Amino acid sequence: MGNHIDVVSGKWTAQDAGIGAGVDSYFEYLLKGGILFGSPRLIDMFKGNGENILSVLTPQCCLTI
Chain segment 16-38, per-residue pLDDT in tens: 666 666 677 888 889 999 999 99
The structural domain count of the chain equals: 1
As a dihedral over the C-alpha atoms of residue 24, residue 29, residue 35, residue 41, rounded to 10 degrees, the angle is: -100
- Each residue of 37-53: b (16+ CB within 10 Å) or e? eeeeebbebbeebbeee
Query: Which one is predicted more confidently, 62 or 43?
Result: 43
Structural domain span for residue 63: 1-65
**pLDDT-derived band at 55, boundaries 50, 70, 90:** confident
User: Is pTM, for the whole model, over 0.75?
Assistant: no
